[in-house]
Amino acid sequence: MSKKIEVKNLVKIFGSKPKLALKRLKDGWSKDKILNTTGQTVGVNNASFSVDDGEFFVIMGLSGSGKSTLIRCLNLLNMPTSGEVIVDGEDIVKFDKKQLREFRQKKVAMVFQNFGLFTHRTLLGNVEYGLEIRNIDKDKRQQIALETLESVGLKGWEYKKPTELSGGMQQRVGLARALANDPDILLMDEPFSALDPLIRRDMQVELLEIQSKLKKTIVFITHDINEAFKLGDRVAVMKDGKIVQQGNPEDILNNPSDEYIEDFVKSIDRTKVIQAKNIMRKPNALVSMKDGVRVAIKEMQANDISSVFVVGEKMKLEGIVTIDDCVEAVKNKQSSLKDLLRHDYYKTSEDEYIEHLLENATKSRYPIVVVNDDNRLLGIIVRTSILSGLLPSNSDTETISF
C-alpha cells in the first residue's frame, strides 16, 4: 500500500525559546531537565511513523504523553519546531497560507472530543458548514449533508438542534461534518472519551462500519488501550513525547518492547482485542462434495478426527459429516455425502472478537468455522486456539479450562 502520511523526526516545543530547547534536546537532555532549566516544554520528541492509504492508525498514551500535540501537528494546528509532515509526497510544514487553507478544506478533517457543534444551527446546518465556507452551491451542499447524516444513522434528525441530542448523537454529527467534505484523511482526537461506556462501544462499531465502506486514512487518538487495539490496524504508543513502540495490536500485545509497554498491556481484555483471524488455522482435513462417504472416512481416520467439513467449488462451505454417520451410510450402501451433511456448527467472520466466540466454543461439538461473505471457508477455530489467544505468548494454557 502507498504511504499517505510520513512523519519524520518531528519535534514540537512550547515556549518562547524553542531553538534553545531544541539544541538541548539534540544534546541528549531529558524533557524534565529542559523544562526545569529553560522553561520550555517538549510536547513531541523526535517522532517518526508512517500511515498507509486507507489505514486506521491509532496513537495512544497516558495524559501528557504528547499524543494530542502530535495529531495537531498533522494539520499544523500546532506548527512543528522541526521535522517533516509529508502528505501525498508534499511536506505540509512548508505550505504557505493558501496551500494550508486548501489542504485543511479539501484533504483533511478533524473530529474533536468536545464535538464543537454550533448550537444555533440545525444538524443539517452544522454538517454543511464546511461546504458552505467552500462556496458550494446550496442545493448541492444540502444534498451532501443529508446523505452524510443518513450514513451516520441520523436520518430524520436533520432539523433538530444539537442541544436536543444525546452525547453519542452529537458525536455522530461531528463525524458527519468531517465526512461531508469527503477528506482523504480523518484526524480524530479522543472523540469518544466523553461518552458513557455503552454509547462509546456503539460509536466504535459504527466507526469501523463506516471505515469498511469509505476506506479513509484515519489517525485516531485515545488513552484507552482496549479502544486502541479494537480500532487500530496499527498502534503507536507514546510516553513523554516519544513513540516507544508501534506495530499491529497482536504484535504489541505479545511482544512488548519494554516494561512500560508490558504494564500497559497487562490491563487489556484480550477477548476484546484478538480476532478470529488471529487464532484460526487451516483445517487438518477437508473433503469435497464430489468425494464419497469412504473418502470422508479415510480422511477422518488419517487425521484422527471424528468429523470433517465438506466444501464445494471455490471452497464454499457445504456442511460437516461425522464418522458415525459415514459408517452407518456404508452399512446402508450409501455413497453420497449430500444426505449426511450436518449444519449444527457455528460460523463466524474473520473480524469477530474472541469475546463473542467464547459461549459458542463451550457449547459446540465441532470447531467454529470461519467464513467470508460468500461462505467460503477460511479456517477453523478449536477451543485450544481460543485459550492460546486469551493468554500471553509465554503463558501456560493449562492454567485455564472451559
Asked if 206 and 153 touch (Cβ cutoff 8 Å), the reply is yes
Architecture of the domain made up of 277-399: Roll (3.10)
pTM of the model: 0.77
What is the mean predicted confidence (pLDDT) over 84-108?
Answer: 95
pLDDT at 390: 63
Own/partner pairs for 317-326, CB < 8 Å, 24+ apart?
317/347, 317/369, 317/371, 317/375, 317/376, 317/377, 318/289, 319/343, 320/345, 320/366, 321/287, 321/293, 321/296, 323/297, 326/293, 326/296, 326/297, 326/300
Q: What is the mean pLDDT of the chain?
A: 90
Q: What is the DSSP string of 328-368?
A: HHHHTT---SGGG-B--S-EE-TT-BGGGTHHHHHH-SSPE
Q: Quick check: 400 pLDDT over 80? A: no
Looking only at the bridges linking them, the beta strands covering 90-91 and 234-239 are unpaired
Cite the beta strand spans of 162-224 per DSSP E: 185-189, 217-222
The Cα 165–Cα 278 span in angstroms is 38
Where are the chain's structural domains?
3-107+183-268, 277-399
**Confidence grade of residue 189 (pLDDT, cut at 50, 70, 90):** very high
The fraction of the chain above a pLDDT of 70, given in percent, is: 96
Domain 3-107+183-268 part of CATH 3.20.20.370: no
Q: Quick check: 383 pLDDT over 60? A: yes
Q: Quick check: 302 pLDDT over 70? A: yes
The Cα 209–Cα 56 span in angstroms is 12
What is the mean predicted confidence (pLDDT) over 261-268?
Answer: 83
Q: Quick check: 399 pLDDT over 60? A: no
CB-hemisphere CA count at 13 Å for 253?
A: 27
What is the mean predicted confidence (pLDDT) over 279-290?
Answer: 91
Q: Nearest to residue 73, comparing CAs of 63, 87, 57, 53?
A: 87
Scored b (16 or more CB within 10 A) or e, 125-152 reads bbbbbbbeeeebeeeebbebbbebbebb
**Confidence grade of residue 391 (pLDDT, cut at 50, 70, 90):** low
